[in-house]
Amino acid sequence: MRKLTVILLSVVIALLGLTTMSVAKDSQAYWNTPQEYEETTGNKIEKFHEAPMLRTMVAAGEIPPVEKRLPEDPQVIVPVEEIGQYGGTWHLPDDPWMGNLRMIMYDPPVRWNRDYTAYIPGLVKKWEFSDEGKTITFYFRKGLKWSDGYPFTMEDLRFWWEDLATNDEYRVIQPPWWSHNIDGTLMKVKFIDDYTISFTFKEPHWNIPYILASGFWEWESMMKPKHYLKQFHPKYNSEMKNYTTFQDKDKWWLNPEYPVLFAWHTVEYTPGEGATYERNPYYWKIDTAGNQLPYIDRIEVRYVTDPEVRLLQAIRGEYDATFRGVKDPLKIPLLKEKEKSGNYRVILWKEGAGAWPGVTVNQTYNVEKTKDPFMRNLLCNKYFRRALSYAIDRKRVNDVVWNGMARIQQFTISEESWHFASPEGKKIWQEWANSYVEYNPQKANELLDEIGLNKRDKDGFRTRPDGTKLELILDVRAGKRVFSETAPILKKNWEAIGLRTVINTVNKATQKLRGAQSIYQLRMDEASEMDLWIYPDWVFPTGTDPCRRMWPYIVRYQITNGREGEPIKKGSVEDRLMEIYNKGIPEPDPEKRNHYIWDAVRIHIDEGPFCIGITGGQPSPVVVKNNFRNVPDFGVLGPWAVGAPGNTNPEQYFFKR
Note the pLDDT of residue 182. Answer: 84
Note the pLDDT of residue 6. Answer: 29
DSSP one-letter string for 293-341? SPS--EEEEEE---HHHHHHHHHTT--SEESSTT--GGGHHHHHHTHHH
Note the pLDDT of residue 4. Answer: 31
Which residues on adjacent β-strands are paired with residue 611?
Answer: 360
Residue 160 exposed, middle or buried by CB count within 10 Å (0-12, 13-18, 19+) = buried
CA 330 to chain centre: 23
Closest CA to 48 of 82, 81, 27, 72: 72
Digit-coded pLDDT (tens) for 536-556 = 999 999 998 888 899 999 999
Please list the ranges in the chain whose pLDDT falls under 50. 1-25, 27
Q: What angle do CA 465, 470, 471 make, to 5 degrees?
A: 165
Closest CA to 253 of 209, 286, 217: 217
CB count in 10 Å sphere of residue 645: 24
- Asked if 91 and 617 touch (Cβ cutoff 8 Å), the reply is no
- Asked if 419 and 352 touch (Cβ cutoff 8 Å), the reply is no
In sign, the C-alpha dihedral spanning 512, 514, 515, 521 is: negative
Strand pairing of 89-94 and 110-112?
unpaired
Note the pLDDT of residue 14. Answer: 33
Strand pairing of 298-303 and 89-94?
parallel
Note the pLDDT of residue 15. Answer: 32
In sign, the C-alpha dihedral spanning 462, 463, 464, 470 is: positive
533: helix, coil or strand? Answer: coil
SS (H, E, C) 481-518: HHHHHHHHHHHHHHHHCCCCEEEEEECHHHHHHHHHCC
Note the pLDDT of residue 544. Answer: 87
Distance CA 497, CA 499 (A): 6
Note the pLDDT of residue 111. Answer: 97
Total-model pTM: 0.92
Q: Which helix (H) or strand (E) holds 616?
A: strand 615-616
Note the pLDDT of residue 548. Answer: 87
SS (H, E, C) 379-440: HCCHHHHHHHHHCCCHHHHHHHHHCCCCEECCCCCCCCCHHHCCHHHHHHHHHHHHCCCCCC
